[in-house]
Amino acid sequence: MGRPVRIEYAGALYHITSRGNERKKIFFDVGDRIRLLNLLREYHDRYEIQIHSYVLMDNHYHLILETPMGNLLKVMHGINGGYTGYFNRKYKRVGHLFQGRYRAILVEKESYLLPLSRYVHLNPVRAGLVRRPEGYRWSSYRAYIGREREEDWVEYAWVLSQFAETRKKAGCKYKAYVEEGLKEESENPLKSVYGQVVLGGGDFIQRIKGVLKGRLLSAEIIERKRLIEHPCIEHILRVVRKRFGIREEDLFDKGGRANTPRKVALHLAQRYTGLSNKEIGERFGGIEASAVSKASARVKEEMASDKKLSKLVTDLDSSFKA
């Protein structure tokens, strides 16, 4: 599997998952868990990170981590490297402890911090370790609901402020919110992740594409095309209509192979928008993904023998290339 890109900027919020190599345990006793918590405290103090929620499972851990200084790589290298060194010394082993690189999903705070906090705190319940999240010691949940003292390195305030102004009332309402997830089998918010690494609404995704504009994304990143800022499909349709001098309804008239503007628009949409064939097909009146692919291939074939069409498409290409 290709590596997800790391996106860093001041104030970025991430959902972090770090798993043991071959899914093996990374914690064997209480001392191991305390060591990682101490590292989180140390890096909170050193690099001003804000840890909104955490849970330590047996073979992995989750963090919701905010970086006011835009220094995710440095922070995670220190935390995982420091813990690996401790673990290897203690258990007289060598080599990697964690499975490749940690996974870091960039999160839109206003829309997803609450559901992600619930998701993180319900991990032990989903794993069958406890019946209720407050029964699990190694997470930030018990302090959220007032069952134990707060840690000075955990940022409780933002989440709780969404529920009430007073600490006690907010804790009670947050507890009720988390327990709704037990009753309703709440949907995993990570199902909505875009391009492997971004969780947020359309405006947020576009903003992140702007952050990435001009950066060379590694070929290892499987969904890198989705992370590049693309011309929207509506812009492509407008340009094609203007070039051919047609109305919008003409562009969506299937018209078989004779509808050259339609074929060209499908070809350009597939090439430049970053949308899937299914998404493009939906915009063209619900045609099959395979029809989008065939129309684009047909344009390429016809360009080889039709110089006029080839010049037209090449001219249009220049309108969309970055």
Instruction: Supply the pLDDT for residue 230.
Output: 59
**Domain stops at, among 212, 247, 264:** 212
Separation of alpha carbons 136 and 151, rounded Å = 16
- Judged by phi (left if over 0) then psi (alpha if -120 to 50, else beta), residue 120 lies in alpha
Angle CA 252–257–263, to nearest 5: 50
- Is 168 found in the same domain as 39? yes
In a domain, 172, yes or no: yes
Q: What domain range is 104 assigned to?
A: 12-212
How far, rounded to the nearest angstrom, does the alpha carbon of residue 212 sit from its chain's CA centroid?
Answer: 14
Q: Establish if 7 belongs to a structural domain.
A: no
Residues 199 and 260 occupy one common structural domain: no
Q: Do 66 and 121 belong together in one domain?
A: yes
Beta strands in 76-193 (DSSP E): 103-107
Same domain, 163 and 311: no
Q: Are 239 and 93 found together in one domain?
A: no
pTM exceeding the 0.75 threshold for the entire prediction:
no
Same-domain pairing of 136 and 255: no
* Residues whose CB is less than 8 angstroms from the CB of residue 242 and which lie 6 or more positions away in sequence, other chains included: none
Asked which of 184, 212, 240 is the last residue of a domain, the reply is: 212
With b for 16 or more beta-carbon neighbours within 10 A and e for fewer, the 53-87 pattern comes to bbbbbbebbbbbbbbeeebbeebbebbbebbbebb
Decide if 4 is inside a domain.
no
My answer on whether 247 and 187 are in the same domain is no
Q: What is the pLDDT, as a whole number, of residue 305?
A: 86
Number of domains composing the chain:
2
Q: Do 168 and 98 belong together in one domain?
A: yes
Other Cβ atoms within 10 Å of 229 Cβ, number: 14
Would 1 be classed as within a structural domain?
A: no
CA–CA separation, 48 and 71 (whole Å)? 10
In this prediction, residue 116 carries a pLDDT of: 97
**CATH assignment of the domain containing 35:** 3.30.70.1290
Instruction: Based on the fold, state whether residues 257 and 146 are members of the same structural domain.
Output: no
Cα Dmax for the chain: 75
Q: In the β-sheet with 103-107, what is the strand arrangement from edge to edge?
A: 50-56, 60-67, 12-19, 103-107, 198-199
CA distance 13 to 85: 27
Q: Are residues 22 and 159 in the same domain?
A: yes
Q: How many residues does the chain have?
A: 322
Last residue of a domain, one of 152, 182, 212: 212
Task: Encode the chain (322 residues) as per-residue pLDDT tens digits.
Answer: 445 557 888 999 999 999 999 899 999 999 999 999 999 999 999 999 999 999 999 999 999 999 999 999 999 999 999 999 999 999 999 999 998 889 999 999 999 999 999 999 999 999 999 999 999 999 999 999 999 999 999 999 999 999 998 999 999 999 999 999 988 666 789 988 887 789 999 888 888 877 766 544 444 343 444 555 556 788 888 888 888 888 888 887 766 567 888 888 888 888 777 678 888 888 888 888 888 888 888 888 888 888 888 888 888 877 765 4
219 in a domain, yes or no?
no
Domain presence at residue 224 = no
C-alpha triplet 108, 113, 114: angle, nearest 5° = 140
* In-domain check, residue 18: yes
Do 20 and 153 fall into the same domain?
Answer: yes
Asked whether residue 3 is assigned to any structural domain, the reply reads no
- CA end-to-end span of the chain, whole Å? 28
> Do 117 and 67 belong to one domain?
yes
Q: Mind listing the pLDDT tens digit for each residue in 278-299?
A: 888 888 888 888 888 888 888 8
CATH for 304: 1.10.1750.10
